[in-house]
Amino acid sequence: MIAESIIYVIVLIALIIGTYTDFKTREVPDWLNYGLIFVGFGIRIIFTTVYHDWTYLLNGIFGFVAFLALALVMFYAGQWGGGDSKMVMGLGAILGLELSVNAFLIGFLINIFIFGAVFGLLFSVYLAILHRRLFAREFNRRFAEKKKEKWIVWIGTLALLLISAFVPLSVRVSLVVLAGMLMLSFYVFIYLKSVEKASMIRWVDPERLTEGDWVVQDVIIGGKRVCGPKDLGLEMSQIKKLISLKKKKKLKKVLIKYGIPFVPSFLIAFTVTYFYGNFVFHMLGIL
């Protein structure tokens, strides 16, 4: 269909641009995100007018509202930055949400979570290797500090494995899986925190800050708090204030936490959805 083809081409171009900027600057420009939202609604209004079919516009509204809710949850949970969240809203508007099980947007959403997790894990491994000395030092330090937690996890895992030897096979499998998850989650937690500390936290000049950057620790000047972790991302007024403070020689740098670029995982998820549909359904042979 011509309408779908036009939409998919626009989305592909936007995701390629977003992937490039996310890798290069760890930011997705507002002109791209807001442009995607306006183009999404604009093109759906055009299709509604040309084809005399209100479902084009309604699907765009449904998609925007659904992905707006998702974006808010992921942003306030600290999983996505402002740029990622805005892009998801734009994708919801332009792709639209059809009320069916095999809807493209539903498959796209499921694929985002699957390939987002895989991409995030692989990218964290890349960061750990890139900063291997700092990572190793941080991992060893954190592991040494978790003496009590380490013994609790080890004893708990051993207890579950011992209990599994005296229960029916159906229960035994669940206990073994639970023991593995308990042990794995402990090391994964230390690993992720070590990667974050070694690779994602940096001192940055105020002039290099961008709207939405996450501040690691409170910036307090003259007894007044300028910004901090509770802000959920810097605002432009705060950045201007920080630049002004640096010019007055009251501040040098700000400690910022950079997240993993997630837009590339959106591109991967879109490509998989286009060629294979819902990845879970495809693997299970459904639809």
pLDDT tens for the chain, 287 residues long, are 787 889 999 999 999 999 999 888 778 888 999 999 999 999 999 999 998 889 889 999 999 999 999 888 887 776 777 788 889 999 999 999 887 656 888 889 889 989 988 998 899 999 999 999 999 999 999 999 988 889 999 999 999 999 988 888 878 888 898 989 889 989 988 998 899 888 888 888 998 887 778 888 888 888 888 888 887 778 888 999 999 999 988 888 999 888 788 899 999 999 999 998 777 666 666 55
Which helix (DSSP H) or strand (DSSP E) does residue 91 occupy? helix 82-95
Q: What is the pLDDT of residue 260?
A: 82
Spatial contact of 139 and 191, defined as CB atoms under 8 Å apart: yes
Residue type, 180: G
Residue 77: predicted pLDDT: 72
Structure confidence at residue 284 (pLDDT): 64
Going by C-alpha positions, the residue among 100, 83, 108, 111 that lies closest to residue 17 is 83
pLDDT attached to residue 279: 72
Q: What is the pLDDT of residue 122?
A: 92
Distance (Å, whole) CA 278 – CA 41: 25
Q: Which pTM was predicted?
A: 0.79
Query: What does the block give as tokens for 120?
Result: 């995030």
> For residues 209, 210, 213 and 218, what is the CA-based torsion angle, rounded to 10 degrees?
40
Task: Provide the pLDDT for residue 126.
Answer: 92
Q: Residue 138: its pLDDT value, please?
A: 93
Residue 285 has a pLDDT of 63
Ordered by start, the domain boundaries in the chain are 2-99, 129-200, 206-252
pLDDT for res 141:
93
pLDDT at position 24, please?
Answer: 85
Say what the pLDDT of residue 136 is: 94
List the one residue out of 272, 260, 261, 259 whose CA is nearest residue 109: 272
